[in-house]
Structure 1
Amino acid sequence: MTEDVVPDRGIWFRVETGSAASAVRRAAERLGDQLDLGEARTDLAIVAAELTSNLVKHAEDGMLLLRPARHEREAGVELVAIDAGPGMADLTASSQDGHSTTGTLGIGLGAIVRQASWFDGYSRPGRGTVLAVQVWPDRAGGRERPWAGALTRPLTGESVSGDGYAWRIVEGRRQVLVCDGLGHGPLAAAATDAALDAFRRAPAGPPAAVVQHLHRAMSHTRGAALAVAEPDPSAGVLRYAGLGNISAAVIGAAGQRRGLISLPGIAGHQRPPVREYDYPFEAGALLVMHSDGVVDRWQLADFPGLADRSPVVVAASLLRDAGTRRDDACVLVARAWS
């Protein structure tokens, strides 16, 4: 892979100065060329410039993730901006042209919303802001309402993350995977990549069968903790099978949190026990899964209104507030839209 190629896992930027903003813009331009966005590259350039400008001018601890977005045979670009700055009391109002809380013209967020194919965000005064934006060649790209979203972030000092995620729909089954390769760096990433590839190719079956398939496919790697979940809101159930220290919880429509059980073991090593558990999963519920690079003391009740946002915005908010810099981190969120 050359430096000109943006991998599907994306690239993280710390955006604190104008030079960082320039680096984001150049990388966005390369990704637009890589994905053949055509005329939408102009929209992407405006979105990247406005997002980074907002982070430089108004944010604290501003970070931006740039990555491809894929839907069937379509490809677009997604940018996720995260900060711990002053936040906004009304993100919807702040997204309108002419609105400002800082004495400026307030056109930044309005321009982002105008040029984006898809936009979502969450902000609270004193807690910071998360913005997720997608730009597609066809303005209607990514037209389906997203049912899952996730982010990974490598350990500080590492160029790749040993954590990973995937989701798929196979024979009507919606399934998600979170994987934490043992250790850090390239070997951990290789173990996770093997799990992700095996997951995408696995025959249709319940989560326990998929976990067994992944275990066999990873025997040549250093191994990983992983979990597979299958949300089935039509049946009101979530099926789940996990090995090792992957944390998972179902957040009910009323906000109640229920932890899910993962058994001890390492996929790819020896013969770990695999068992599948069923949990209630009604319309409006959320599934949250994460690696041990995210502290498991978060409560969604601390984020009023966040449960109504898109899965990637929920995941990014939890990664910002509960993720650690001393480990690779991954958060995945799936939902049953009501």
Structure 2
Amino acid sequence: MGQVIRSRDEAWVRIEDASAIGAVRRAAAALAEAAGFGEHDRGRVALAVSEAASNLVKHATEGMMLIRALPGPTTAVEVIALDRGPGIRDFTRALRDGYSTTGTLGVGLGGIARMASFHEVYSVPGRGTVISMCFTAGADPAPASRVSGLTRPIGEESVSGDAFACVDSPGTAVAMLCDGLGHGELAAGASRQAVRVFQEHSDLPPVALLERVHRALAGTRGGAVAVARLDRGSGLVRYAGLGNISGWIVHAEGRQGMISVPGIAGHQSRTFREYEYTMPPHSMVVMHSDGLTDRWDVSSFPGLTTRSPTVVAATLLRDAGTRRDDACVLVMKGTA
């Protein structure tokens, strides 16, 4: 069985003024301590997060940070900073210690690069910046990233009604995304049930797995659900969806939509269907709930398809996400 990746408790923090810097630093240090990091490594995490948050306060518009633990053989802490600021026009200068820029993440970018076990920056002038930081204890390598997903609750809610889960192995990746009907705890309960069924039956074909989820959600509020199985060797994607989950095969030149049938998992379904698609080289599967508008255009994000799944997911969530609904986006990379 491959690595299981699923939505989990995620702390989103708005970075609007200096008071948020201490809060996000403490949250990151506490998560690192819970993950078993020693004092030195906890300090490394706290300092990098402080630098990123400080630059969001100084230079960004609509700055936010996400802090979460990453499961796997190597325990890791992941921090994502995103904003709608002016972007970084000169990375070489921004990496120099002590250099100040009107672009986000200028002063502390060089330090962040040294302190993080892995980091990645994606910035488009005039649109904003996304930085992904991964921290591990000691000299442990950062976990490989071929699949990543993000959830964000509506408004000031503490829980999201959307959820995802994925089983990733070298040859295949199987993913499910559920958008619980409505929002809040009842919607989250439906999504958690869908995740439990997925984890127990992820070896089934997508249409059979979707049917299992549909039956299991009968006692819940229900929701929209989609399942995708990616075979990296053949480049084939098998997809089955019920309700308004958006599924796409995305490459540098554009995207191809994948079909979901109308209905509500747990309540309404006339039929279940599975469709097969061929992925072009250097492409990826993107699935998202209707908390993201489906009108995003990958060609407006230069070089985004070459970036990690985490950066792709964060960029789409920032630019296509709406604060008027729970939001969830999942990205699976194919072969190189």
- How many residues were matched structurally? 329
- Cα displacement (A) at 1:97: 3.2
Question: Using a 3 Å threshold, how does the CA distance of structure 1 residues 77 and 171 change in structure 2: closer, same or farther?
Answer: closer
- Partner residue in 2 for 1:4: none
Q: Is the 1:149–1:334 Cα contact (8 Å) retained in structure 2?
A: yes
Residues 171, 336 of structure 1: alpha-carbon distance in 2 compared, 3 angstrom cutoff: closer
Q: Secondary structure of the equivalent of 2:75?
A: strand
Alignment of 1:131-146 (within 5 A): 131-144=131-144, 146=145
Q: Distance in 2 between matches of 1:64 and 1:105?
A: 13
Q: CA RMSD in A?
A: 2.1
Q: Residue 267 of structure 2: which of 249, 262, 269 is its match?
A: 269
Q: Which runs of 5+ in 2 are unaligned?
A: 1-6
Per-residue CA deviations over 1:194-234 (Å, capped at 9, x if unaligned) read 11122112151221122122222222211110111112231
1:320 corresponds to: 318
Conserved? CA contact 1:249–1:258, under 8 Å: yes
Instruction: Determine if contact 2:121/2:131 at 8 Å carries over to the other structure.
Output: yes
Alignment correspondent of 2:243? 244
Matches of residues 1-338 of structure 1 in structure 2 within 5 Å? 8-38=8-38, 39-71=40-72, 73-91=73-91, 94-102=94-102, 106-144=106-144, 146-169=145-168, 173-252=172-251, 254-269=252-267, 271-338=269-336
Normalising by structure 1, report the TM-score: 0.91
Deviations 1:80-139 (A, max 9, x none): 111000101244652343544249995401111101011112101110000110111143
TM-superposed deviation, 1:10: 0.8
Closer, same or farther: CA 274–102 of 1 in aligned 2, 3 Å: same
Distance 1:218 1:117, change over 3 A: same
Contact in 2 for aligned 1:121/1:309 (Cα 8 Å): no
Distance, in Å, in 2 between the alignment partners of 1:55 and 1:35 is 26
Maintained 8 Å contact 1:67/1:79? yes
Q: TM-score, normalised to structure 2's length?
A: 0.92
For residues 19 and 285 of structure 1, what CA distance do their matches in structure 2 show?
Answer: 41
Q: Which amino acid aligns with 1:64?
A: M
- Give the 3-state SS of the residue equivalent to 1:194 in structure 2: helix
CA offsets, 1:20-62, max 9 Å, x none? 1111011112111211112421211111111111111111100
Identical-pair percentage: 49
Kept in 2: contact 1:231–1:281 (CA 8 A): no
Structure 1 residues 105, 296: closer, same or farther in 2, change over 3 A? closer
Structure 1 residue runs of 5 or longer lacking an equivalent are: 1-6
